[in-house]
């Protein structure tokens, strides 16, 4: 990394002597960090943590959003109702599938694409740009278009398989064994270009002369990848992994809502979609809030686990 450095002295001595109380406080290491952190902490406090605490409170109550109706304290009733409920069980199970399947699809699959595009050098720019396009377009509309493409009544994809391979594929969105994979593939479609871009950015820093040197020593492609590229890419992979896990559950919301509404037989719903339905469709605010808390704990547990397992490896490899 090249470091730009402003020529000459940054601050003249004369100016330094005039530094007042504020300037001294602002560079005093005891206070300075807090000045820089204050706006973010204030914003997070007001617009993230306070609403979360409020949600936690609502999860212990029974309320339907009606200002004229008292909020009744219900203890852990909502959690009790949630745990015994088949929709919640299905949503939790699917949430685990969404997260687990996202790792090969959204975290690992982009890597070979990125490496290939990187190996092309400049010529890879066009590929890079094309695969990034889905990131830019409204997911609602993309979902509608896929609904047409997958339509068992003359949709392009079923027609293609029928005519080219003679396969009759039924309605993949109404089949309990395929629907969740359609949602997963579609959300992969949406995010893969973005992840490829992130990996490419990680790859750009790899010095190509090392690669050439390894080749001179007779290393084959696979060896170069395993011995050089993969280790250097690990921190990027870690980053992609963390945000994929956190965002995948939200990211599949739109295709679930438009393609399946959680069906067939509750095989595509997830905790996020369930919470949305409780809160904004049936106004069971307490139950929705309880679902939010569970979802948070779920994400927290997975993230901590990943950080514990992977942080060590990443550091080790640095």
Partner 1 sequence: MIRRTAVAAAAILALTAGPAAAEDVTVTLYHYQTANAEAFRAILDEFEAENPDITVQDIFAPSREITAEVQAALAAQRPVDVATVIGKNIIFFLNNTPAGPINADREANAWLDRYLPNFLDLGRVGDDIFAVPHAYGTPLIYYNADLFREAGLDPADPPQTWDEVIAAAQTIQEETGVAGVAQLHASNKDYGTMLMVMNAGSEYLSADGREALFDSDEGIAALQMWQDMANAHGVMPIANDRQWSAAFQGGQLAMYITSSAALRSFHAAAEGNFELGVANYPLFGDRDRRVPNSGGALMLYSPPGERREAAVALLEFLSRQEISNRWSRESGYMPLTVDPLGDPAMAAYVDSFPLVLPAIEQMDETVPTATWAPYGALEAQTIVSNLIDALWADEGPAANLVPPAVAEINRILAEANPQ
Partner 2 sequence: MVLSRSWQVVGHTVILLLCLAVLMPMAIVVATSFKPPNEVFRLQPIPADPTLRNYQEVFADRAFLIFLWNSAGTTVLRVGGQIFFAVLTAYAFARWRFPGHNLIFAAVLGAMMIPHQLTMIPIYILVAELNWFDTWQALIVPNLAMPFAVFLLRQHFLSFPRELFDAAEMDGAGPWTALWRVVLPNLKPALAAITIVLFIDCWNEYFWPLLVTETEASQTIQIGIRRYLEEDFADFGALMAGVTLASLPALAVFFMLQRRVMETFVGSGIKG
State the residues that interact with partner 1 by CB under 8 A.
64-69, 81, 85-87, 144, 147-148, 150-155, 170-171, 173-174, 176, 258-266, 269, 277-278, 280-284
**Is 318 among the residues that bind partner 2 (CB under 8 A)?**
yes
Q: Is the dihedral of CA 276, 282, 285, 291 positive or negative?
A: negative
**Is 76 among the residues that bind partner 2 (CB under 8 A)?**
no
- Which of partner 2, partner 1, none lies near 169, with the C-beta cut-off 5 to 8 A by kind? none
Return the SS3 of 73: strand
**Is 13 among the residues that bind partner 2 (CB under 8 A)?**
yes
At closest approach, how far in Å is the CB of 234 from partner 2? 7
Return the residue of 74, 285, 287, 290 that touches partner 2, per CB under 8 A.
Answer: 285
86-117 core/surface letters (b: 16 or more CB in 10 A; e: else): eebebbbebbeebbebbbebbbeebbebbbeb
Output 153 or 176, the one with its CB closest to partner 2.
Answer: 153
269-297 core/surface letters (b: 16 or more CB in 10 A; e: else): bbbbbbbbbbbeeeebbbbbbbbbbbbee
**Per-position DSSP letters for 254-304, written without gaps between them:** HHIIIIITT-STTSS--HHHHHHIIIIIS--HHHHHHHHHHHHHHHHHHHH
- Which of partner 2, partner 1, none lies near 83, with the C-beta cut-off 5 to 8 A by kind? none
- Which of partner 2, partner 1, none lies near 30, with the C-beta cut-off 5 to 8 A by kind? partner 2
Query: Which parts of 165-224 interact with partner 2 (CB under 8 A)?
Result: 189, 192-194, 197-198, 200-202, 204-205, 208, 211-212, 215, 220-221, 224
**Is 290 among the residues that bind partner 2 (CB under 8 A)?**
no
**Is 32 among the residues that bind partner 2 (CB under 8 A)?**
yes
- Which of partner 2, partner 1, none lies near 72, with the C-beta cut-off 5 to 8 A by kind? none
- Which of partner 2, partner 1, none lies near 69, with the C-beta cut-off 5 to 8 A by kind? partner 1
* Number of helices followed by number of strands (H, E) in the chain: 17, 2
Output 59 or 277, the one with its CB closest to partner 1.
Answer: 277
Query: How far is the CA of 106 from the CAs of 30, 259, 274, in angstroms?
Result: 42, 20, 23
Query: Which parts of 128-167 interact with partner 2 (CB under 8 A)?
Result: 129-142, 144-146, 148-149, 154, 156, 159
Pure H helices in 177-229: 179-204, 208-216, 221-224
């Amino acid at each position: 990394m090249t470091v730009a450095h402003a020529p000459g002295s940054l601050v003249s001595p004369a100016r330094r002597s005039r530094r007042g109380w504020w300037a001294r406080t602002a560079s005093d290491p005891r206070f300075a960090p807090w000045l820089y952190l204050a706006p973010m902490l204030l914003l997070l406090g007001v617009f993230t943590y306070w609403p979360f605490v409020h949600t936690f409170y609502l999860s212990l109550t029974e309320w339907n959003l009606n200002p004229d109706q008292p909020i009744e304290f219900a203890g852990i009733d909502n959690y009790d109702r949630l745990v015994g409920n088949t929709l919640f069980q299905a949503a939790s199970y699917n949430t685990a599938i969404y997260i687990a399947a996202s790792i090969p699809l959204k975290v690992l699959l982009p890597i070979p694409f990125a490496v290939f595009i990187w190996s092309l050098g400049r010529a890879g720019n066009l590929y890079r740009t094309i695969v990034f396009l889905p990131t830019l377009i409204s997911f609602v509309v993309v979902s509608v278009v896929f609904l047409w493409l997958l339509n068992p009544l003359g949709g392009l994809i079923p027609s293609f398989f029928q005519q080219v391979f003679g396969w009759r594929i039924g309605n993949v969105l109404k089949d309990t064994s395929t629907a969740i994979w359609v949602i997963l593939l579609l959300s992969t479609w949406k995010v893969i270009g973005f992840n490829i871009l992130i990996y490419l950015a990680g790859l750009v820093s790899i010095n190509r002369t090392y690669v050439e040197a390894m080749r001179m020593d007779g290393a084959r492609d696979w060896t170069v990848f395993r011995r050089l590229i993969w280790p250097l890419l690990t921190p990027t992979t870690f980053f992609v992994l963390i945000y994929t896990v956190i965002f995948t559950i939200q990211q599949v919301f739109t295709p679930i809502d438009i393609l399946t509404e959680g069906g067939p037989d509750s095989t595509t719903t997830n905790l996020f979609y369930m919470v949305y339905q409780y809160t904004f469709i049936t106004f069971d605010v307490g139950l929705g809030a309880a679902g939010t808390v569970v979802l948070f704990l779920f994400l927290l547990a997975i993230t901590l686990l990943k950080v514990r397992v992977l942080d060590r490896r990443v550091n080790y490899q640095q």
